[in-house]
Amino acid sequence: MYIHIVIGTRPNFIKAAPLCWAAKKIGIKIHLIHTGQHYDLLMNQVFFDDLDLPRPYRYLDIGSGSHAKSTGRCLERLGNVFSEDKPDWVIVIGDVNSTIAGALAAVKLGIKCAHVESGLRSFDRTMPEEINRIATDSISDLLFATEPSGVTNLEHEGHSPGSIKLVGNVIIDTLDHFLPIARKRGAFNLFDLKVKNYALLTLHRQSNVDIDSSLKALIDKIDLVQQLIPVVFPVHPRTRKELHSFGFENRLEKLSNLKIVDPLGYVDFLSLMGNSKMVITDSGGIQEETTVLEIPCLTLRDNTERPITCEQGTNQLVGSTGSKLMSAIESVMNNEQKIIKRPDLWDGHTAERILNELTIGKIS
**Cα dihedral: 312, 317, 318, 322 (round 10):** 140
Given 4, 159, 177, 204, the catalytic residue: 204
- Using CB atoms within 10 Å of the CB of residue 287, give its burial: 0 to 12 exposed, 13 to 18 middle, 19+ buried: buried
Give the Cα separation of 46 and 301 in Å (integer): 28
Provide the residue count of the chain: 364
Contact predicate 21/52, CB 8 Å:
yes
Kindly list the distances between the CA atom of residue 260 and the CA atoms of 192, 228, 231, 282, 290, in Å, as whole numbers in the listed order: 13, 17, 9, 17, 21
In degrees and rounded to multiples of 5, residue 88 shows phi and psi of -75, -40
SS3 category, 232: strand
Q: What letter represents residue 147's amino acid?
A: E
As a whole number of angstroms, the distance between CA 276 and CA 234 comes to: 14
Tell me the backbone φ, ψ of residue 6, rounded to 5 degrees. -90, 125
Q: What is the distance in angstroms between the CA of the first residue and the CA of the last residue of the chain?
A: 17
- Cα separation, 300 vs 302, in Å, equals 7
Helix residue ranges, H only, the chain? 10-26, 45-51, 67-85, 97-108, 128-139, 148-156, 170-185, 206-209, 212-226, 237-245, 249-253, 266-274, 285-293, 308-311, 325-333, 350-358
What span, in angstroms and rounded, lies between the C-alpha atoms of 76 and 72?
6
Amino acid at residue number 349: H
Cα 272 from Cα 56, distance rounded (Å): 28
Task: Note if 204 is an active site residue.
Answer: yes
Query: Letter for the amino acid at 273?
Result: M
User: Hey, which residues are catalytic here?
Assistant: 204
